Amino acid sequence: MVILGIETTCDETAAALVERSEDGSGRIMSNVVLSQVSEHAAFGGVVPEIAARAHVEALDRIIAKAMAEAQYTFAALDGVAAAAGPGLIGGLIVGLTTAKAVALSHGKPLLAVNHLEAHALTARLTDGTPFPYCLFLASGGHTQILGVRGVGDYLRLGGTVDDAIGEAFDKTAKLLGLGYPGGPLVEKEAQSGDAKRFALPRPMSGRRDADFSLSGLKTALRLEAEKISPLSHQDVADLCASFQQAVVDVVIDRLRLGMRMFRDQVGTPTALVCAGGVAANQAIRKVLHRVAFEVGTSLVAPPPALCTDNGAMIAWAGAERLALGLTDPLDFAPRPRWPLDQVAKAAAASAQS
Ligand code: KG4
Ligand code: ZN
């Protein structure tokens, strides 16, 4: 089966065609991503209204490009998938309405995909990873540790109670005047910095759940920066290194616990899978390998272009759902908030209707 996937939850306008074979393997036929980074850069973060307008202006063109690159027609599709949440409501309406229009006019099933589910299932497209596996998702909008037991069967083991990890990197960069997106810039500065110079907190470390909290770390960093302002180049590098080391320590602590919870509640994982832009960070990537190794499994890291937001992951999640007969009605409403453990309930409801 061949599915068109549309992604508009945040600041990427993306469309892709993905084929799923009967044996469960996948193939990307096209994958077009338009990043809005330059439109948000001046604001140091994503501005919802700007994002929604940019999606409206670009989506038709991006879909046409994905169709042309795959040399495919709407009539030949088996289904149309769009990310229906969680995300910014403006973008969700644009993407989901467009998918509904294509589905209705060509008589194809609609697949309203949970964006987090799409991240969670990507390793099956890229690496054919069997269930169950543990997912560490860390992006600008999300930070979660998930038990992935099957399609529509997710166990949330931990998540952030405030900022996402990528968001914390972005806010750190903004505070230090480095630019946006902040992750790569903070990582680069950290390379020439002293990670021991500033004693920043390791929020939540040692706690018995696998949750994250990053806003206290951000505040502590701001206070340190204010104490020594104006900042020299070395000060900035040292602040970045100290911040990154604190995040790395928190990730190790939380993920070790998450893996232990996985063993207790799910069983032996086939892999630790990472997703989200933060996984590009080499220091964080190193500890993911380490934690996986400690529990006797290995790290599966899809290529960066498929770890960050893209249409192929939406198309693939749609294909996995369609293969199980899980389609959605055309009046499916976008869901700005949509925790993954509710995906199973939604799937059950749509199977009955
Ligand atoms: O998954 P993604 O491309 O987009 C969404 O957030 O949906 O992730 C982007 C986030 C940004 O917050 C960015 O600063 C962060 O990932 N990021 C990094 C690195 N590269 C990107 N954070 C830390 N280190 C990096 N090298
Ligand atoms: Zn994402």
Q: Which helix (H) or strand (E) holds 101?
A: helix 89-106
Which ligand sits closest to the CA of 248?
A: 1
pTM above 0.85, yes or no: yes
Q: How far does residue 107's CA lie from ligand 1's centre (Å)? A: 37
In the chain, what are the domains?
2-125+307-352 (3.30.420.40), 131-301 (3.30.420.40)
Q: Which residues does residue 239 pair with via DSSP β-bridges, in sequence order?
A: none
Q: Is the dihedral of CA 245, 249, 254, 260 positive or negative?
A: positive
Q: How far does residue 140's CA lie from ligand 2's centre (Å)? A: 8
> What is the pLDDT, as a whole number, of residue 341?
74
Task: Return mean pLDDT, the chain.
Answer: 95
CA distances from 260 to 170, 287, 291, 350 (A): 30, 16, 11, 34
Does 44 sit in the ligand 1 pocket, CB within 6 Å?
A: no
> What is the pLDDT, as a whole number, of residue 353?
46
Copy the structure tokens of residue 205.
Answer: 């470390």
Does 160 sit in the ligand 1 pocket, CB within 6 Å?
A: no
> What is the pLDDT, as a whole number, of residue 73?
98
Does 276 sit in the ligand 1 pocket, CB within 6 Å?
A: yes
Position 342 pLDDT exceeds 80: no
Q: Is the dihedral of CA 306, 29, 319, 98 positive or negative?
A: positive
Convert the pLDDT of each residue in 51-102 to its tens digit.
999 999 999 999 999 999 999 999 999 999 999 999 999 999 999 999 999 9
- Measured in degrees and rounded to the nearest 5, phi and psi for residue 198 equal -110, 130
Which ligand sits closest to the CA of 169?
A: 1
Does 86 sit in the ligand 1 pocket, CB within 6 Å?
A: no
Q: How far does residue 224's CA lie from ligand 2's centre (Å)? A: 31
Convert the pLDDT of each residue in 299-314 to its tens digit.
999 999 999 999 999 9
Convert the pLDDT of each residue in 145-202 to its tens digit.
999 999 999 999 999 999 999 999 999 999 999 998 899 999 999 999 999 999 999 9
Position 352 pLDDT exceeds 60: no
The β-bridge relationship of strands 272-275 and 299-300 is: parallel
Convert the pLDDT of each residue in 171-186 to its tens digit.
999 999 999 889 999 9
> Which atom of ligand 1 lies at the shortest distance from residue 182's CA?
14
Identity at 63, one-letter amino acid code? I
Does 245 sit in the ligand 1 pocket, CB within 6 Å?
A: no
Convert the pLDDT of each residue in 132-141 to its tens digit.
999 999 999 9
Identify which of 55, 9, 54, 3 has the alpha carbon closest to the alpha carbon of residue 31: 3
What crossing angle do the helices spanning 215-228 and 233-265 adopt, rounded to 10°?
160
Q: How far does residue 277's CA lie from ligand 1's centre (Å)? A: 4
Does 332 sit in the ligand 1 pocket, CB within 6 Å?
A: no
Q: How confident is the model at residue 207 (pLDDT cuts 50, 70, 90)?
A: confident
Convert the pLDDT of each residue in 88-100 to its tens digit.
999 999 999 999 9
> What is the pLDDT, as a whole number, of residue 350?
56
CA 2 vs. chain centroid, Å, equals: 23
Which ligand sits closest to the CA of 166?
A: 1
> What is the pLDDT, as a whole number, of residue 180?
87
DSSP, res 129: P
Does 58 sit in the ligand 1 pocket, CB within 6 Å?
A: no
Q: How far does residue 232's CA lie from ligand 2's centre (Å)? A: 35
Position 212 pLDDT exceeds 60: yes
Position 347 pLDDT exceeds 60: no
* Overall average pLDDT of the 117-130 stretch: 97
Which ligand sits closest to the CA of 276?
A: 1
Does 277 sit in the ligand 1 pocket, CB within 6 Å?
A: yes
Closest-CA residue, ligand 1 atom 2, reads 277
